[in-house]
Amino acid sequence: MKFVKIIFFLVLTVAFFSCAKEEKEKEMSSDEIVKIGMSPCRSSALFIKDFGFDPTRSDLSTTEPGMVGVVLVEHPRKAADSLSRRTYQDVSWTQNGWMGNTTVDIDGNIYTAPFPKENETNIPLKQMDKVFKIDAKTGKMDVLLELSKPGSSAETVPFAVLGLYYDCHGKKLYVSSVSGSTKTKENGIIYVVDPPTGKVVDQLKGHDAAAVFVGGFTGEKRLYFGGLRTSDIYSVQLTEDGKFKGKARSEGTLLHPGNSGNDRARSIRFDENGNLLVSASSFDFTLTDAAVKKETSYQFSYDKGKKKWRLVDGG
């Protein structure tokens, strides 16, 4: 019996040190962290060239007048030469209604989600809480995953997925959805998705957000997101592989003397100097918010001494 106990102890000891070694290997260096969200990492989809379009002058649009879904646009070499502007749509890009934001991964795959157009949803709300993937090689669009079903209450807001962001460092897709939220209840969820499998690997509940972004300029890998109930910019720490760590906190607000207080972040990113750039517009959970609006730009600078973001421009 004593021999068995010794063997059991040795097995536990080996397992403990193996786990400790694995955890140590997952630690991120400061140089690695600070580059997150700043280093170029995305590839152009191979199908763009195959379709006869110039990848250096082409991008995907979901706001082309009169065109439902996703549109490949090749811009003219000279701005004045508008007649040389070309567009293309694969049939699979048009079959699921209007689309919203897009994000691209390191292999050139594109991700998007249904989004209503002003006063026109095109597809039922119950079918909107999905994420689609356009394959970088074939150009075909298929459902990557379906999220929670929206509530059936008349109070449920007419939106689902509002934010998409692919993090090259952790190779995860972040999806913010307000499906199930009402005018008075914040039931939004931010999902962490593994793109190859389409599986949800983590989620942050209780936050309605439209803009999501992953950056590490402060020395911590964090997911930044714009609240839709207030004008605040929030963040939550992430692990090396992109899962949530701890609770979300406010990093600052767009509200200041001189603006209306109705602005909500619609996009967030870092510039080359590590400043946090925010584009914002009003949002009150009605279909009129689906219209293309003029956005206001804001800039936050990070005070390393106080470890706080400070609004330095905008509004």
pLDDT tens string 85-115: 999 999 999 999 999 999 999 999 999 999 9
Least confidently predicted of 49-58, 232-241, 242-251, 259-268: 259-268
Least confidently predicted of 20-24, 54-58, 156-160, 303-307: 20-24
Q: Is the dihedral of CA 301, 303, 309, 314 positive or negative?
A: negative
Q: 21-53 burial, b for 16+ CB within 10 Å, e for fewer?
A: eeeeeeebeeeebbbbbbeeeeeebbbbeeeeb
Architecture of domain 41-255: 7 Propeller (2.130)
Q: Are 278 and 209 in contact (CB under 8 A)?
A: no
- For residue 312, how many other CB atoms are within 10 A of its CB? 11
Residue spans of the domains in the chain: they are 41-255
User: Considering the entire predicted model, what is its pTM?
Assistant: 0.89
Q: What is the pLDDT of residue 12?
A: 47
Q: What is the DSSP letter of 161?
A: E
Tens-digit pLDDT profile for residues 190-207: 999 999 999 999 999 999
Q: Are 142 and 95 in contact (CB under 8 A)?
A: no
Q: What is the pLDDT of residue 288?
A: 78
Q: Sorting pLDDT into bands at 50, 70 and 90, what band is 121?
A: low
Q: What is the pLDDT of residue 314?
A: 82
Choose between 299 and 126: higher pLDDT: 299
